[in-house]
Amino acid sequence: MFQVAIVVGGGNIFRGASAAGNSGLDRSSADYIGMLATVMNAIFLQATMESIGIPTRVQTAFRMSEVAEPYIRRRAVRHLEKGRVVIFAAGTGNPFFTTDTAAALRCAEINAEVVLKATNVDGVYDDNPRRNPNARLLDTLTYQEVTSKDLSVMDMTAITLCQENNIPVVVFNLNQPGNIAKAIQGERVGTLIGGTWNSTVSKTLG
């Protein structure tokens, strides 16, 4: 049985790092607003998933007890064991950290076997595919290659967390129908960071 936890972002509503400085908004305040945006997305996602019969729980990094549970690691693991999808919101609960870092952190905390990073491109390229039509999609990468080549996959804190905890990362296109199912089932899709496809497939399917 698959156990699935989701870390949601809030960039479609408010992006803290981009908004900082506007109208005197400092970075910490902007990041907290961004965290609240992730809670809005999490509640919407929960309602959508439960409307099609998927049991879910939303856990937030800071207390919002009227709308969601506070993040408690043991409770999150128990929900997963019972077959519920756990949606983590409000990032890490701290400013200056991205939802990528929150995903890597929660992944390590609940002993998840792989981070699946859904994005709007097919994976990691050796150059920006929007600027360079000859950019090549990379099949696999090491953590060191991501950092040394400064590839804009995840922020460095997230990559370092994954490396230290030996957690592979699969980067794939969210907009391609069927890709989420393929990624969850361990099929080759997008780019794999920090692992080999055969071993990652066996772990994901295990």
Q: Which of 37, 59, 91 is the last residue of a domain?
A: 91
Same domain, 85 and 162: no
Same domain, 83 and 24: yes
pLDDT confidence of residue 201: 53
Same domain, 73 and 120: no
- Beta strand ranges found along 62-174 (DSSP E): 69-70, 85-89, 115-119, 140-141, 169-173
Q: What's the domain range around 134?
A: 113-206
Domain-embedded: residue 128? yes
Give me the chain's average pLDDT, please.
91
Q: Provide the percentage of residues in the chain whose pLDDT is more than 90.
A: 75
* 41-53 pLDDT, tens digit each: 999 999 999 999 9
Domain tally, the chain = 2
Domain-embedded: residue 2? no
Same domain, 120 and 56: no
Domain-embedded: residue 197? yes
Residue 26 reports pLDDT greater than 60: yes
* 156-182 pLDDT, tens digit each: 999 999 999 999 999 999 999 999 999
* 66-98 pLDDT, tens digit each: 999 999 999 999 999 999 999 999 999 999 999
Mean per-residue pLDDT for 15-43?
89
Q: Provide the percentage of residues in the chain whose pLDDT is more than 70.
A: 96
Domain-embedded: residue 194? yes
Answer whether 179's CB lies under 8 Å from 159's CB. Answer: no
Same domain, 87 and 138: no
Residue 71, CA distances (Å) to 53, 61, 115, 137 in order: 23, 5, 19, 36
Same domain, 19 and 78: yes
Mean per-residue pLDDT for 95-116?
96
Same domain, 129 and 48: no
Band (200; pLDDT cuts 50, 70, 90): low
* Strand ordering across the sheet containing 140-141: 115-119, 169-173, 191-193, 140-141
Domain-embedded: residue 105? no
Q: ∠57-62-66 over CA atoms, to 5°?
A: 55
Residue 10 reports pLDDT greater than 60: yes
Domain-embedded: residue 104? no
Secondary element (H or E) of residue 164:
helix 156-164
Domain-embedded: residue 101? no
The Cβ of residue 19 has, within 10 Å, a number of other Cβ atoms equal to 16
Q: Which of 29, 58, 91 is the last residue of a domain?
A: 91
Residue 23 reports pLDDT greater than 80: no
Q: Where are the alpha helices (DSSP H) in 55-148?
A: 73-81, 99-109, 143-148
Same domain, 138 and 58: no
- For residue 134, the domain's CATH number is 3.40.1160.10
Residue 204 reports pLDDT greater than 80: no
Domain-embedded: residue 4? no
pLDDT confidence of residue 206: 36
Mean per-residue pLDDT for 188-195?
93
Residue 25, CA distances (Å) to 11, 34, 90, 167, 182 in order: 17, 12, 19, 35, 41
Same domain, 50 and 84: yes
pLDDT confidence of residue 199: 63
